[in-house]
A and B are shown apart, each in its own frame.
Chain A
Amino acid sequence: MSQIEGTVDNPKRALREQDRSMPDKENRAIFAVNAQRRKLKEQVFYYLIFLATLSALFVLVYLIGSIFSDGWPYLNWDFLTNFPSRFPAKAGFKSAIYGTAWLGCLTLFFSVLFGVGSAVYLQELSAKGRLSSGIELSIATLAGVPSIIYGMLGLGIFVRFLALGRSVLAGALTLSLLILPVIIIASREALKSVPDSIRMGAFALGATRWQTVRDHVLPAAIPGIATGVILAMARSIGEAAPLILLGALTYIAFVPESVFDSFTAMPIQIFNWASRPQAQFHDLAAAGIIVLLGFLLICNSAAIILRSRWRAK
């Protein structure tokens, strides 16, 4: 009787007593089983994502391997210094290399100038409201527009309307348009991640918005902006479709000497060789791809080294 009363009056105590009656071992066993199962799940997950990485890597290695086995024999000094020719043995990549170098420099200049400028305006200076969120949405949409559409745009605006012709300048401006959304979005994210306390510290010293951005916010955002620019530039260097639409020539036996000269570019030359019937030209295309990959590797490494130097500062 008293025992029952005790249980009703003091449920906590009753629970405690029950606890004590339960063997500790059993309690621990429940936890141990659970831990093992979790460990198993973790391992399964680990191998799954490892497999995912491996499959991507496998495709890449296979691709590079087949390109190298086809193109390597053709890769020599003559290939780099000869102009294209209808004889595969004499055909070279010179005008394409020069064209891509020209395009790359000009595109870098225009896209950074306009891209970072727009990002600073949208993120730091403009009033937040319906207009700016509308602009934000349009930019995100533009990032997904197929590159060939940008080629049509470039043909309409730069080649015809502004009468720049089929020049390096028109090509570079078109590629800049193509990668502008990516650069703007990446730059805005980089600016967004700069802590507000830095801005407030500057404003409290009587700085204007522009002085604050120029001297503190932008320098702090540069590593993030650089990442976006590197990725975007890699994309623009590999683009063929918009340039073909623009009317970049596939056979050019000279190198551009000014921004108004006509040009060809590595991806265009590769496309041209790959679409010919003779097998030797296909191997030349592979050699061209090796050069393009090497070019990208050098540019990206340089950019990454520059970025880490800046970060260390």
Chain B
Amino acid sequence: MVNSHSSSILETRNLNIYYGEKKVIRNVSLKVPKRTVTAMIGPSGCGKSTLLRTFNRMNDFIDIFRFEGEVLFEGTDIYRSKTDVTEFRRRVGMVFQKPNPFTSSIAKNITWGPQINGYRGDLNELVESSLRKAALWDEVKDKLNDSGLALSGGQQQRLCIARAIAMDPEVILMDEPCSALDPQSTLAIEDLIHELKQNYTIVIVTHNMQQAARVSEFTAFLYNGDLIEFDETSKIFSHPAEKLTRDYIVGRFG
């Protein structure tokens, strides 16, 4: 199924997730290949965001969350490992649906994460390189001390990506990063994703099938908590193996 030459960085094994009594992920086993863009698609409530949030344990903050199975990052079980969860979160960054910059300056937005994690390098350099990688430097280089909230929505989202990049993560999880943005900002973020996959593994949840087709190499289709199909994006969109996938792709439901 998944091409053999790239090894996986994230993996779930027989993962079941419950919110209270409700089962929201059913027996999902999935391997996310390194340095690729993997898209997760499916109708609302199919569990794609829930699955994404297990990769950096952001579900921990939901009281009624419960799971069975394994979630591996570089072969380590992140839920059972003795390593502190904050260490995994440093290595697995996240960008949220709604841009959520901190209420501090643009520069501070970048440096805060590294600082609290004991970063010892040159902070000014880090600000510049992170903003450059997020394709935001030219727009903000003259106002690094302005509030991050003064930026436009699309710029805020790129600031959040820069903030994640500054941690030098191995994986960046994106939870519908463009759903609150206008088409032009969406295009800018998609271009950025193309750039970033050289160095990072990206897992992106999206409602937008065209977006999944445009940016990803692999696509996972979830329906009602089940992983229906996971394959190369080109294959999913041209010759899906499952009828359900085909129906969703052509827009028969969802």
What is the bound-complex CA distance between A150 and B69, given in angstroms? 55
Q: A128-B63, A197-B98 are in contact. Are A204 and B89 (CB under 8 A)?
A: yes
Chain B, 194-221, contact with A by CB distance < 8 Å: what is the 0/1 string? 0000000000000000000000000000
Indicate if the CB atoms of A203 and B116 lie closer than 8 Å: no
* Cβ-Cβ contact count across A and B, 8 Å cutoff: 63
The B148-181 residues at the A interface (CB cut-off 8 A) are 160, 163-164, 167
Indicate if the CB atoms of B102 and A198 lie closer than 8 Å: yes
The B18-76 residues at the A interface (CB cut-off 8 A) are 56, 58, 61, 63
Chain B, 123-154, contact with A by CB distance < 8 Å: what is the 0/1 string? 00000000000000000000000000000000
What is the bound-complex CA distance between A211 and B102, given in angstroms? 13
Residues of A near B247 (CB, < 8 A) are none
Q: Tell me, rounded to whole Å, the shortest Cβ–Cβ distance linking B81 to chain A.
A: 15
Q: Which of A128, A198, A203, A211 has the most CB of B within 10 A?
A: A203
Residues of B near A128 (CB, < 8 A) are 63
The B85-132 residues at the A interface (CB cut-off 8 A) are 86-90, 93-94, 96, 98, 100-103, 112-113, 116-117
Residues of A near B102 (CB, < 8 A) are 198, 201-202, 215-216
Q: Which of A201, A211, A215 has the most CB of B within 10 A?
A: A201
Indicate if the CB atoms of A200 and B113 lie closer than 8 Å: no
Indicate if the CB atoms of A201 and B96 lie closer than 8 Å: yes
Indicate if the CB atoms of A200 and B100 lie closer than 8 Å: yes
Measured CB to CB, the nearest residue on chain B to A205 is: B113
A145 at the interface (CB under 8 A from B): no
Measured CB to CB, the nearest residue on chain B to A196 is: B61
Chain A, 242-257, contact with B by CB distance < 8 Å: what is the 0/1 string? 0000000000000000
Residues of A near B93 (CB, < 8 A) are 204-205
Q: A197-B96, A197-B98 are in contact. Are A215 and B112 (CB under 8 A)?
A: yes
Residues of A near B164 (CB, < 8 A) are 204-205
Q: A128-B63, A200-B58 are in contact. Are A207 and B86 (CB under 8 A)?
A: yes
Q: A128-B63, A211-B116 are in contact. Are A206 and B167 (CB under 8 A)?
A: yes
What is the bound-complex CA distance between A206 and B102, given in angstroms? 15
Q: Which of A197, A200, A205, A216 has the most CB of B within 10 A?
A: A205
Measured CB to CB, the nearest residue on chain A to B117 is: A206
A287 at the interface (CB under 8 A from B): no
What is the bound-complex CA distance between A207 and B117, given in angstroms? 8
The A128-149 residues at the B interface (CB cut-off 8 A) are 128
A208 at the interface (CB under 8 A from B): yes
What is the bound-complex CA distance between A219 and B105, given in angstroms? 14
Residues of A near B116 (CB, < 8 A) are 205-208, 211, 215
Indicate if the CB atoms of B89 and A206 lie closer than 8 Å: yes
What is the bound-complex CA distance between A297 and B56, given in angstroms? 51
Indicate if the CB atoms of B103 and A205 lie closer than 8 Å: no
What is the bound-complex CA distance between A220 and B102, given in angstroms? 10
Which of B88, B98, B100, B113 is the one whose CB lies under 8 Å from A207?
B113
Indicate if the CB atoms of B100 and A198 lie closer than 8 Å: yes
What is the bound-complex CA distance between A202 and B113, given in angstroms? 8
Residues of B near A203 (CB, < 8 A) are 58, 61, 89
What is the bound-complex CA distance between A122 and B102, given in angstroms? 23
What is the bound-complex CA distance between A197 and B95, given in angstroms? 11
Which of A198, A200, A206, A207 is the one whose CB lies under 8 Å from B103?
A198
**26 examples of A-B residue contacts, CB within 8 angstroms:** A128-B63, A195-B100, A197-B96, A197-B98, A197-B100, A198-B100, A199-B61, A200-B61, A201-B101, A201-B102, A201-B163, A202-B112, A203-B58, A203-B61, A204-B56, A205-B89, A205-B163, A206-B87, A206-B88, A206-B89, A206-B117, A208-B86, A208-B116, A215-B102, A215-B112, A220-B103
Starting from the known contacts A199-B61, A205-B89, A205-B163, 10 additional A-B residue pairs (CB-CB under 8 Å) come to A201-B102, A204-B94, A204-B96, A206-B87, A206-B116, A207-B113, A215-B116, A216-B102, A216-B103, A220-B103
- Nearest 3 pairs of A and B residues by beta carbon: A205-B113, A206-B90, A197-B100
Chain B contact residues, CB within 8 Å of chain A: 56, 58, 61, 63, 86-90, 93-94, 96, 98, 100-103, 112-113, 116-117, 160, 163-164, 167
